[in-house]
Amino acid sequence: MESKNFFLCITILLFAASSSSSSEILQKQTYIIQLHPNSETAKTFTSKYDWHLSFLQEAVLGVEEESFEEPSSRILYSYGSAIEGFSAQLTESEAETLRNSPEVVAVRPDHVLQVQTTYSYKFLGLDGGLGNSGVWSKSRFGQGTIVGVLDTGVWPESPSFDDTGMPSVPRKWKGICQEGENFSSSSCNRKLIGARFFIRGHRVANSPQESPNMPREYISARDSTGHGTHTASTVGGSSVSMASVLGNGAGVARGMAPGAHIAVYKVCWFNGCYSSDILAAIDVAIQDKVDVLSLSLGGFPIPLYDDTIAIGTFRAMEHGISVICAAGNNGPIDSSVANTAPWVSTIGAGTLDRRFPAVVRLANGKLLYGESLYPGKGLKNAERELEVVYVTGGERGTEFCLRGSLPREKVKGKMVICDRGVNGRSEKGEAIKEAGGVAMILANTEINQEEDSIDVHLLPATLIGYAESVVLKGYVNATVKPKARIIFGGTVIGRSRAPEVAQFSARGPSLANPSILKPDMIAPGVNIIAAWPQNLGPTGLPYDARRVNFTVMSGTSMSCPHVSGITALIRSTYPNWSLAAIKSAMMTSADLYDRQGKVIRDGNNPAGLFAIGAGHVNPGKAINPGLVYNIQPVDYITYLCSIGFTRSDVLAITHKNVSCSGILRKNPSFSLNYPSISVIFKRGKKMEMVTRRVTNVGSPDSVYSVKVKAPQGIKVIVNPKRLVFKHKDETLSYRVWFVLKKRNRGEKVVGSFGQGQLTWVNSRNLMQRVRSPISVTFKNN
């Protein structure tokens, strides 16, 4: 599936109803109305719904209305947990009337977002590998935790959701198994303990599905596209023996927390995921008592006070729910990272050391490395030598192999080169088949470089990197009758450097929140094999007649559920830890080095902090972090005030009506106790200071000494340099001063950013290191 066209191409759209008609009905669109949480007026109504309805009734009476429809028919959702408010169909004039109400905090148009294994648990050492003592055994496989997955639904019959050996449903669980199309209450079990669907926002914004080329959409929690089934099984899928994708990647499939319970909230449909539906799901998930929320969806960065996910998850965090979000897939563009609220764990994507080689052998003997999950190993018909063509020119998109663009007389019986982009990767293969072609070489363009997101192609095919594509096209252009064959190599593990940063993984610095380093960390997100609906082919295309239980996908959509599952393991191990402590444990123990002991790469260069955040998650170290950075919910409010948010902004985000000036007078040198450190030098500033507090969650009588790698051009001073803990759960503070080094006349700071790290080393166990990345931004210095 083409990452830039499906779940990897993240686009935020504001949808508006058609203005071509004068009818008020046709001019309505969905708005989310946020109300003051402690209104005295609310107490005069018998229910919150009646209170919410009163606002709509007042708005309708306040403008001329050509329709006689009941106002109650226009309310989509009444919220009470994620925010106080409701979503409704309004005209622009009605929305403006509500904005002027003193009890209304904000009126926001609905947004639409897009959705962003057999081996990865071994790569992460969860099974006791990598020298770990066995995270699964220590955490009891995540038993007792409930992970809520907001996505495209679930295929409950998948063997990954078998509940054999699962404990009883936790007594605290308040959710349901919502019945719907081809989904009954018996579809849930002790593994998949709950399922709901939220479609009202999507339904009012879209006409009924009519395209014959679209898979069937179930009006229920049943998954129609496969994305949600894939992510849910990555979080906590049960053990499935002999899992593979048509023979490739064979092994035992398990989720990160195979003992955890899964609750599915279907919020994403064929035309995207509407914020009104997402907010309704978060609202209900809080009431259902989930422990972790996993959101493999998002968009471009937007301000926190307009970000529905940030606003809804603040309340979730206050209720003790860990929130894990995909960083987005608009990399390698700078400042493309989304979901940047500090109470959310923002996850980028990295690679595995598992490869599926499918090498192109040119007739001149030259070999071009490629990869594919097409099951062609040892098949003479799949590996035979063929004439190669690359059809270019015209305005039909032939170089991209768009359906209907390829002339049959040029491609029949041949191997066709297709450039990546515009349409889906697997869809290009169908276009070739329709035109009579028999094989494909999918060629990365300059924008894709050497990215290797692979597919279970419909015909013999392989994906080659940009450097190889230049060689291939040069050969074709210089040869009268160019020929090649694809040699499929099956599955190869451990022979390549990993992890590396995925090129598509969104990058910092955060536009919406530059004072916090984002993404927080990276996790496996490239070529992840996980569960798949049994009525879909492995490509997900409607004309793919093959059927599988597992398939491969790539994206931060895949890395997010890895960390969601690891979060469940840590919560199960330490049920009394704060949400911030769990996040801190993963960040401060993250890896900067790959499996070969070399610095993690981003392309051909060492990965920077804006690509990997704190590093690549290492659950074996995170389960025993030594020290953690705790944050209380009230600290986030102080933080928002400290970075210049207004009283109304803070109210919109946190539902708290506070005086920022009063808070800042009480906390004049406030620093959010975040595991990473971000410093911004504004014009004229020569020094910045931050304070941090660490809590000993390891052995009593522990002593830690500091080691600093200072950013270029910065002197770093830490006081104290040693932290002596006498007791477990003891908290100590330290301060860090960042001082601009004196420069010679005319000398400038090299670049706009600097990076370093501050590490506390346990003097009695030198392998226990608590590391905080340091990001420095120079503004107009």
In this structure, are residues 645 and 660 in contact, taking their beta carbons and an 8 Å threshold?
yes
Exposure on the CB side of residue 493, measured as CA atoms within 13 A: 9
- Give the 3-state DSSP-derived string for 265-305, with helices as H, strands as E and coil as C: EECEECCEEEHHHHHHHHHHHHHHCCCEEEECEECCCCCHH
To the nearest 10 degrees (0 to 180), the angle between helices 579-588 and 556-573 is 120
The residue annotated as part of the active site, out of 557, 584, 589, 671, is: 557
Distance in angstroms between the alpha carbons of the first and the last residue of the chain: 45
- Give the 3-state DSSP-derived string for 397-433, with helices as H, strands as E and coil as C: CHHHCCCCCCCHHHHCCCEEEEECCCCCHHHHHHHHH
Q: What angle do CA 407, 409, 413 make, to 5 degrees?
A: 105
557 is catalytic: yes
Which DSSP symbol is given to 5? T
H-type alpha helices, 1-47: none
To the nearest 10 degrees (0 to 180), the angle between helices 227-236 and 556-573 is 30
* Cα–chain center distance at 222: 21
- Give the 3-state DSSP-derived string for 80-106, with helices as H, strands as E and coil as C: CCCCCEEEEEECHHHHHHHHCCCCEEE
The residue annotated as part of the active site, out of 36, 111, 202, 227, is: 227
Q: Which helix (H) or strand (E) holds 200?
A: helix 200-205
Cβ neighbours of residue 228 closer than 8 Å, sequence gap 6 or more: 115, 149, 151, 152, 153, 154, 264, 266, 268
* E strands present in 116-259: 146-151, 192-197, 240-245, 248-253
In this structure, are residues 230 and 154 in contact, taking their beta carbons and an 8 Å threshold?
no
Nearest to 510 by CA among 342, 308, 311, 275: 342
Look up residue 701 and give its amino acid.
D
- Tell me the three state secondary structure of residue 581: helix
Burial grade of 138 (CB within 10 A; 0-12, 13-18, 19 or more): middle
The residue annotated as part of the active site, out of 110, 151, 307, 649, is: 151
Catalytic residues: 151, 227, 557
